Amino acid sequence: MSATSPAFPSSGVATFPVTKSSATKNKRIESIDLLRGTVMIIMALDHVRDYFHADALLYSPTDLSRTSVILFFTRWITHFCAPVFIFLAGVSAYLYGARRTKNELSFFLFTRGLWLIFAEVVIIGFIRTFNPGYFFINLQVIWAIGICMIILSVLIRANWYIILLAGVVLVGGHNLLDAVHMPGAGVSSFLWSVLHENHDFIFGRFTVSIFYPVLPWLGVMIMGYCLGSLYAPGYHAAKRKRTLLWLGFGAIALFIILRSGNFYGDAALWAAQKNDVFTFMSFLNVTKYPPSLQYVLVTLGPALIFLALTEKPLNTLTLKITIFGRVAMFYYAAHLFLIHLAAIGGAVISGYKWTDMILTTRVYASPGLKGYGFDLVAVYLVWILLILALYPLCKWFDAYKRANLSKHRWLSYI
């Protein structure tokens, strides 16, 4: 067996012999934090747009019959956030387990998954609505990560190759299920929505919206978990970078091939539009709910290239961005809270009552906010101010977490 080939003991986890280019065993991998921090900054732009942009209440920014170029790309750039976030959660799961037993990793994934589901429904649900009655339960990325972690806590006991195969099949094959629908509001419809088809359900006074079906996102997390083996102690750094570049450019090339002829991997076909720019936008206008194969390829491909090119010492700017990446859950809750709080001020300034921002549905679907909103210049301004406000908060929490993690293990869940 070569010095860089994985060995697979009975535990099913890849191990690598140590080489001279080994990474420091307990040192955080800064390129991962940098990528996570970058996409989280971008993510905030989309959420600010939801709460502040006037057109958000009228139509989808990817509706080519109504959108503008800048609005389309304001939304499209945020497509990178969820797949990168979930993919890196898988990478982080592998790295966490590399220093622990399989039982310890399984317990952590299972309990953190339960915590994230609770956080999505109760904590994030309240922050999104400011409504203590929780009339609207929006199951999005935090919920999806939680469910996927619970499933992964079992899958990690399988052989590494079997785990990888499961991830590839889920990501590459789930679009074969696009034509399968379970109409109605019964148990079968709800379970199918959890697995593959986003849908809203009404249970008494509660509306449950499943925006992140599990099957494709589980595949993304599994593939992240498997790619985490590239960062195992002892894996040659130069080989890792080459592998990331090959995988990244390969994913982009496969996207172009599949998309060019509308062959497979996305139910939303592209077509010639009124001009070349809109035709290009149609080519990029892939499906996120649920994430199509083409969507995953065009987002994770550049992300892998990013990881390869940023594996180097940090500078002043990237050092600051990694702070956001190290405190992801804290950032997520804090940024939504500050956005919603600022939106109350925006509503009052616009002549609405502050109570109009106490929501029972998505902000852009709230009937009490009809006519509310600002232009894109205001959206970008609020976004920039938000990031500047979040930085000292995240820097403080990062320092607190680093200083107290050994004493308070619950901090590893945030």
Please tell me the predicted confidence (pLDDT) of residue 6: 43
Q: Are 153 and 110 in contact (CB under 8 A)?
A: yes
Please tell me the predicted confidence (pLDDT) of residue 7: 35
Please tell me the predicted confidence (pLDDT) of residue 364: 85
Q: Are 294 and 255 in contact (CB under 8 A)?
A: yes
- Which positions of the chain have pLDDT values less than 70? 1-27
Q: Are 285 and 292 in contact (CB under 8 A)?
A: no
Distance CA 148, CA 90 (A): 9
Residue 168's Cβ-count burial label (10 Å; 0-12, 13-18, 19+) is middle
Please tell me the predicted confidence (pLDDT) of residue 27: 65
Residue 183's Cβ-count burial label (10 Å; 0-12, 13-18, 19+) is exposed
Q: What is the pTM of this model?
A: 0.91
Tokens in use for 361? 């549905």
Tokens in use for 206? 């509660």
What's the count of helices (H) and strands (E) in the chain, helices before strands? 15, 3
Please tell me the predicted confidence (pLDDT) of residue 12: 35
Number of alpha carbons in the 13 Å side-chain half-sphere of residue 87: 25
Say how many C-beta atoms besides its own lie within 10 A of residue 408's C-beta: 11
Residue with the two structure tokens 């994030």: 124
Residue with the two structure tokens 């002549």: 351
Determine the residue type at 93: A
Bond prior to 6 in cis (omega within 30° of 0): no
Please tell me the predicted confidence (pLDDT) of residue 1: 34
Q: Are 187 and 205 in contact (CB under 8 A)?
A: no
The bridge status of strand 199-203 relative to strand 206-210 is antiparallel
Residue 80's alpha-carbon distances to 9, 72, 224, 286, 313, in angstroms, are: 35, 14, 15, 12, 24
Q: Are 345 and 288 in contact (CB under 8 A)?
A: no
Between helices 316-326 and 328-349, what is the axis angle to 10°? 90
Distance CA 85, CA 240 (A): 20
Three-state DSSP at 183 gives coil
Distance CA 282, CA 271 (A): 6
Strands (E), 99-253: 136-139, 199-203, 206-210
Please tell me the predicted confidence (pLDDT) of residue 80: 97
The mean pLDDT value of the chain amounts to 91
Distance CA 34, CA 343 (A): 29
Q: For residue 206, what are the β-bridge partners? A: 203
For residue 203, the surrounding DSSP H or E stretch is strand 199-203
Tokens in use for 47? 């959420």
Determine the residue type at 176: L
How many residues would you count in the chain? Answer: 414
Tokens in use for 138? 């929006």
